[in-house]
Amino acid sequence: MLKDNSFLNNLGEYCIDELKKIGATSSEVIVAHSISEDMLQRNGKIEEVIRSEDISIGLTTYIGQKKSSISTSNLTKNNIKQAIIRCYEMAKNTPEDKYCGLPESNNLEKDHIDLDLFDNSVVSYETKKDYISECEAEALAQKKIFNSNGVSFTEAKSNFILKNSNGFSNGQRSSIFSVSCDVVAKEEESMERDYEYSSKRFFCDLTKPKDIGKIAAERASARLSPKKINSFSGPAIFEPRVSSSFLSHLISSISGHNLARKVSFIKGDIGGILFQENINIIDDPSIKKGLGSRNFDSEGVDCKKLELIKKGKLNEVILDTYSGKMLNKKTNGRCGGTTNCYFENGKLTKTDLIKDIKKGVYITELFSSGFNSVTGDFSKGGSGFLIENGEITYPISEITVAGNIKDMFKEMVLANDLEFKSRTNSPTIRINNISIAGK
């Protein structure tokens, strides 16, 4: 059972008081308790059941503009006391940094709303076992499925309190249930794997197990007997599972820390044109049951909905207190990153994006870390399907998709099939002119 707020709050209050007594000019503490349970089944047999529990204290001490941080999971009174002293002593020997410090009190979260992030229900071992058994059985029943790489079920619940010496004190209980099914398809000499997953705040909202198993099987089977293709330049369609990576690259590139250090291909000028006029990108922390939803960020700063890209133009950058000071801007409550970030839907269907393509590719997988955040150069290995005369035809593999992401952003056309499956979400994307290297 999760520790209640009273327990976490008392520990946090003790740390703040002790740091003040020994000379800290300001301080922050987070006390967190988490419990997770993992179950893995492969070919009808439970292979692994793991339960883990962690309770920890994270301390941050300021002496003027000197800062140090320390964490501990040994919560004996003597160890906590020693951790407080060590954190203070470390701060004394740290160089001054004019940008460090707690957020201003007027930036802190005040109006706490219920975001419906915690599932109080108790999901039994048998219920989890039945769920993944049904999921795997459905996948293995499909015609071309040869083997299972496993079906996993994870339940994670947590509670934390964040306090600082400016008077902020609040926390949040949350839960996440995740299921993933990974299978292998076989046809003659060809073998391919693929997966499907579902992740939700509430157990009852997970995708039905048979649907997860069936989709995983269909995806793996569709990839069988891939062909190599000749290199060409042309349009590429990116399914939502991979198109969200473009959003991740944008988020990193408009991070205040990267902009301040000039390690981004984006200058960070508000109003700069990055996309076509009909593209908007939102970061919304207030979505009920959202996987990234929160009332306040890791500093206690109020989280509000942001229009990062508005009508194709840069409208906001990702700022915490430190990067805000570096850029002479006000924090917008994004310490710890974005919340629920997504491309707004386009107006076309996926079919509309494909139907006029004489020759192109439909990308279902990208791999390697081939993105240069300083220049914007993009080059990643991938696989998927060839598009011919407006139809998705046969599977392809061993291709490389390359271009400069600045040009790719301006070429993007969005479909209307946005789903919220993770913290970063995108509809299907078409990029009209991209280099596709094959054999």
The reported pLDDT for the residue numbered 20 is: 96
Residues 206-235: tens digit of each pLDDT: 999 999 999 999 999 999 999 999 999 999
Residues 288-323: tens digit of each pLDDT: 999 999 999 999 999 999 999 999 999 999 999 999
Across the chain, mean pLDDT equals 96
Is residue 369 over pLDDT 90?
no
Burial zone of 234 (CB within 10 Å; 0-12 exposed, 13-18 middle, 19+ buried): middle
Is residue 375 over pLDDT 90?
yes
CA–CA distance, 153 with 129 (Å, rounded to integer):
9
Task: Give the pLDDT mean for 123-137.
Answer: 98
For Cα atoms 57, 60, 61, give the angle at the middle one, nearest 5 degrees.
Answer: 130
Contact 403, 365 (CB under 8 A): no
Is residue 92 over pLDDT 90?
yes
Residues 419-430: tens digit of each pLDDT: 999 999 999 999
Is residue 439 over pLDDT 90?
no
Task: Give the pLDDT mean for 390-408.
Answer: 96
Q: Do β-strands 359-367 and 377-388 pair in parallel, antiparallel, or remain unpaired?
A: antiparallel
Is residue 34 over pLDDT 90?
yes
The reported pLDDT for the residue numbered 94 is: 96
Is residue 356 over pLDDT 90?
yes
Tell me which residue has tokens 């020759």. Answer: 359
* Residue 337 to residues 90, 292, 428, Cα–Cα distance (Å): 27, 10, 24
Q: Do β-strands 429-437 and 232-238 pair in parallel, antiparallel, or remain unpaired?
A: antiparallel
CB hemisphere CA count around 169 (13 angstroms):
13
The model's pTM is: 0.95
Least confident of 77-81, 369-373, 423-427: 369-373
Contact 238, 360 (CB under 8 A): no
Is residue 339 over pLDDT 90?
yes
Query: Percent of the chain at pLDDT above 70?
Result: 100
Torsions phi, psi of 215, nearest 5?
-65, -40
Task: Give the pLDDT mean for 358-385.
Answer: 94
In terms of Cα–Cα distance, which of 100, 168, 94, 109 is closest to 321?
A: 100
The reported pLDDT for the residue numbered 30 is: 98
The reported pLDDT for the residue numbered 224 is: 97
H/E element, 213: helix 209-222
**Strand runs labelled E in 138-210:** 145-164, 169-187, 190-200
CA–CA distance, 389 with 392 (Å, rounded to integer):
9
Query: DSSP string of 251-308?
Result: HHHTBHHHHHTT-SSS---TT-B-S-TT--EEE-TT-TT-TT--SB-TTSBBP--EEE
Is residue 111 over pLDDT 90?
no
Domain boundaries, the chain: 228-439
Based on C-alpha coordinates, what's the Rg of the chain? Answer: 24
Task: Give the pLDDT mean for 88-116.
Answer: 93
The reported pLDDT for the residue numbered 109 is: 87
